[in-house]
Structure 1
Amino acid sequence: MNSMSYRGYTARIEFDERDDIFVGRLLGVRDIISFQGQSVTELRGQFQVAVDDYLEDCAERGISPEKPASGKVMLRIRPEVHAAATIAAQAMGKSLNQWADEVFEQAARRATGEVAP
């Protein structure tokens, strides 16, 4: 995935061949926040403007802006998967939360093509 980050927000970037522009969309928030640019420099600037406008609009309306992630996840999974994950975590001497955090991080890095630090 091609992406860029600013002020804790991440956007997915795609190239629109038909219009010959880069198009971005903010991820992790319910509002649809998009931006575009003909160059990477212009795109980055428009991304920053979009995030700043979103935060300013939230402040003017007196609402809290959505944060990309709170760190809390509620999952509904099959009982047998839950049991297997619990056993895997215990076998590694970890809590289910610790184990799941590591598994989620590894999966997210693979999905985004990010290299582990």
Structure 2
Amino acid sequence: MRPRIAILVACATLPGAGSPSHAGDPARGERVFQYCYSCHSVVRGETNLQGPNLAGIIGQPIAAQNGFGYSPAMRDLAARERVWSEALLDRFTAEPEAVVPKTSMQFHGIDDPAERADLIAYLRSIPRP
């Protein structure tokens, strides 16, 4: 294999390769979070909103915030998927209803993959409570 082709093949197989925005930008993601802000918080201990607190969500069990009344649809997702991975968050923020049919969340999704990557980078930057 020629060196140039080998480099292209190697880069194509790396996660996020060929897409500088794939890793996302937490600063831009904080702005994207404004879509979520009316119902969700990332402030430690803040739980008085319509949606659960999203601080430290990546890698955490789905539908597991103590004291929050999750919908049956979200509990069904928790039984199937267990934890919020970045890939699952990407799919969910793109099309909530497709990932969680009959979700009670009134949000239609974020079409732009770069915005979703930024949002996930922002959520990744928030420490677990």
**Greater per-residue strand proportion:** 1
TM-score (norm 1): 0.23
Larger relative CO (CA 8 A, sep 6+): 1 or 2?
2
Tell me the TM-score normalized by structure 2: 0.22
